[in-house]
């Protein structure tokens, strides 16, 4: 019987990978998602990054079964020629289906409730310490508790961006704005845009924004060639200033992390004030303004400027622990240059991530990121179920000879330092023709 289906080659599909002409394939069927980029709940970057290829594994990872019914309206009538599925992908998709049958994507436990109660206690005690005590030490501890509050709000924001932590989408949205924008001053719209780009292009030096920290940090000497960021849409110049800062990055890493929150504030404002398509922009801006009203007012209630600065530094520094945690999972893992490849989804996610070994009673501290491999493979999985699925992932990695990297919290810090030091020593190579400045010359003068 003659096959009446229309087919296109994978090479032809690759040609449809530009803004204004975006095609993808899911299980061999080709879809035109050009117009959908403006309405896609995950933003335009995932579609732009994976356009022109089969994205089945990424689609399975990010979408519930109910999403499949909406694909047909984008169907082009074409099927992908010579469509094949690797053995690793077959087993991965079976595992997703099995977890779905077990209801693991729906069983959220009481993690969100416990976190909300903990956050309420931290907020109340911090406010009480500011208003009801004259002790400088109590005020310092109150600042630290505010930092702990922001860490927990970050975990809730992270979870609510991947799946519904509440009973409905509307309440989930309220929780996002309250815990992210209002309570922590971080735009949930910015976070979703940034984090989705990270997940889709995990550890791609030019596509993953979580590795693009020039001029302060680089994790690979490939940045010395001034890589163009596809996320920031500009070249990351490795100039004399960047060389100087990178040369000492293994010394400045932890101090900079203590102030890293400033960058999140700035990135939130830059996106909300940009011309990019931002869902619920007015709502987002209003939430940010709420933070910039209550937090400065709270600080103003402290008796003097010394204690005010101390409170800010304490809250920012404690939150710096979370910024360090974000880096540990990826800085010392394998990196690559170029767009992500959906056909290599399972391998790229496991190679680019590092798990943190810890006891179950410490799960609250890591917020689910200790099971980074599992989280990247199953981003919709509630954090309370990540420990349950870990043995299945270990077995699958072993079967397909893929890495399952897991070390202690202290070892992961040491590995991150080793990565930063290695890049720093390479940056000090004065034979590279980078413009010098007076600071560089003064610090590196010998004799």
What pLDDT does 430 receive? 55
In a structure prediction context, what are the per-residue pLDDT tens digits for the chain, which is 447 residues long?
446 688 888 889 999 988 889 999 999 999 999 999 888 888 889 999 999 999 999 999 999 888 888 899 999 999 988 888 889 999 999 999 999 999 999 888 778 888 999 999 999 999 999 999 999 999 999 999 999 999 999 999 999 888 888 888 899 999 999 999 999 999 999 999 999 999 999 999 999 999 999 999 999 999 999 899 999 999 999 999 999 999 999 999 999 999 999 999 999 999 999 999 898 999 999 999 999 999 999 999 999 999 999 999 999 999 999 999 999 999 999 999 988 887 778 888 999 999 999 999 888 899 989 999 999 999 999 999 999 999 999 999 999 999 999 999 999 999 999 999 999 999 988 555 544 444 444 444 443
Q: Which of 340, 372, 395 is the last residue of a domain?
A: 340
Note whether residue 129 is domain-resident.
yes
DSSP letter for each residue of 204-218: BTTT-GGG-BTTTB-
Instruction: Indicate the SS3 state at residue 21.
Output: strand
Query: Is residue 124 located within the same domain as residue 10?
Result: no
Helix (H) or strand (E) holding 270: helix 261-272
As for how many domains the chain has, the answer is 2
Cα(234)–Cα(65) distance, integer angstroms: 37
Q: Which of 310, 335, 355 is nearest to 140 (CA)?
A: 310
Q: How many residues does the chain have?
A: 447
What pLDDT does 90 receive? 92
Note whether residue 442 is domain-resident.
no
Query: Is residue 67 located within the same domain as residue 10?
Result: yes
Query: Is residue 69 located within the same domain as residue 215?
Result: no
Query: Is residue 136 located within the same domain as residue 206?
Result: yes
What pLDDT does 39 receive? 87
Q: Which residues pair with 25 in a beta bridge?
A: 30, 54
Q: Which of 434, 240, 195, 146 is nearest to 330 (CA)?
A: 195
What pLDDT does 110 receive? 79
Query: Is residue 155 located within the same domain as residue 59?
Result: no
Instruction: Indicate the SS3 state at residue 78.
Output: strand
Per DSSP (E only), the strands in 216-368 are 228-229, 234-235, 355-357
Instruction: Indicate the SS3 state at residue 56.
Output: helix
Query: Is residue 77 located within the same domain as residue 144?
Result: no
What pLDDT does 432 receive? 55
Tokens of 414: 């040491």
Instruction: Indicate the SS3 state at residue 1.
Output: coil
Tokens of 72: 């047909």
Q: How many other CB atoms are found less than 10 A from the CB of residue 321?
A: 15
In degrees, rounded to 5, the angle at the alpha carbon of residue 77 between the alpha carbons of residues 73 and 79 is: 115
Biggest alpha carbon–alpha carbon distance for the chain: 87
Q: Which of 340, 366, 384 is the last residue of a domain?
A: 340
Note whether residue 419 is domain-resident.
no
Query: Is residue 80 located within the same domain as residue 116?
Result: no
Query: Is residue 80 located within the same domain as residue 166?
Result: no
Cα(152)–Cα(287) distance, integer angstroms: 18
Cα 210 vs. chain centroid, distance in angstroms?
Answer: 6
Cβ atoms of 33 and 47 within 8 Å: the answer is: yes
What pLDDT does 346 receive? 85
- 57: containing domain: 6-84
Cβ atoms of 388 and 420 within 8 Å: the answer is: no
Cα(80)–Cα(6) distance, integer angstroms: 9
What pLDDT does 66 receive? 86
Query: Is residue 134 located within the same domain as residue 250?
Result: yes
Query: Is residue 144 located within the same domain as residue 47?
Result: no
Note whether residue 247 is domain-resident.
yes
Query: Is residue 191 located within the same domain as residue 51?
Result: no
Note whether residue 193 is domain-resident.
yes
Note whether residue 123 is domain-resident.
yes
Query: Is residue 188 located within the same domain as residue 316?
Result: yes
CATH number (domain holding residue 19): 3.10.120.10
């Amino acid at each position: 019987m003659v096959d009446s289906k229309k087919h296109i080659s994978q090479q032809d599909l690759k040609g449809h990978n530009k803004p204004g002409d975006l095609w993808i394939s899911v299980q061999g069927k080709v879809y035109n998602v050009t117009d959908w980029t403006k309405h896609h709940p995950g933003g335009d970057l995932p579609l732009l990054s994976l356009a022109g290829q089969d994205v089945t594994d990424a689609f399975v990872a990010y979408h519930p079964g109910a999403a499949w019914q909406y694909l047909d309206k984008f169907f082009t009538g074409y099927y992908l020629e010579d469509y094949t599925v690797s053995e690793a992908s077959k087993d991965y998709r079976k595992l997703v289906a099995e977890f779905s049958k077990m209801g693991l994507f729906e069983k959220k436990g009481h993690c969100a409730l416990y976190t909300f109660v903990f956050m309420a206690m931290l907020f109340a005690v911090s406010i009480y310490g500011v208003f009801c005590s004259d002790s400088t030490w109590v005020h310092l501890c109150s600042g630290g508790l505010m930092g702990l509050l922001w860490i927990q709000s970050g975990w809730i924001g992270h979870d609510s961006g991947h799946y519904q932590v509440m009973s409905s989408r509307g309440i989930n949205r309220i929780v996002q704005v309250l815990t992210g924008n209002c309570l922590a001053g971080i735009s949930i719209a910015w976070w979703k845009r940034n984090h989705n780009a990270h997940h889709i292009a995990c550890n791609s030096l030019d596509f993953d924004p979580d590795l693009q920290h020039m001029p302060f940090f680089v994790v690979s000497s490939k940045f010395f060639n001034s890589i163009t960021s596809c996320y920031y849409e500009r070249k990351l110049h490795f100039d004399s200033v960047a060389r100087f800062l990178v040369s000492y990055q293994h010394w400045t890493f932890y101090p900079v992390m203590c102030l890293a929150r400033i960058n999140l504030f700035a990135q939130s404002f830059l996106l909300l004030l940009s011309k990019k398509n931002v869902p619920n922009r007015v709502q987002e801006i209003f939430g940010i303004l709420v933070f910039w009203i209550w937090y400065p007012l709270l600080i103003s209630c402290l008796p003097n400027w010394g204690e005010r600065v101390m409170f800010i530094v304490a809250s920012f520094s404690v939150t710096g622990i979370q910024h360090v945690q974000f880096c540990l999972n990826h800085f010392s893992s394998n990196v690559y240059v170029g767009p992500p490849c959906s056909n290599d989804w399972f391998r790229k996610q496991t190679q680019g991530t590092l798990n943190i070994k810890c006891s179950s009673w410490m799960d609250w501290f890591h917020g689910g990121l200790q099971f980074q491999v599992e989280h990247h493979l199953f981003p919709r999985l509630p954090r309370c179920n990540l420990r349950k699925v870990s043995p299945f992932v270990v077995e699958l990695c072993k079967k397909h000879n893929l890495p399952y990297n897991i070390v202690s919290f202290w070892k992961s810090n040491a590995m991150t330092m080793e990565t930063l030091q290695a890049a720093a020593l390479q940056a000090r190579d004065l034979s590279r023709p980078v413009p010098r400045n007076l600071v560089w010359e003064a610090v590196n003068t010998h004799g």
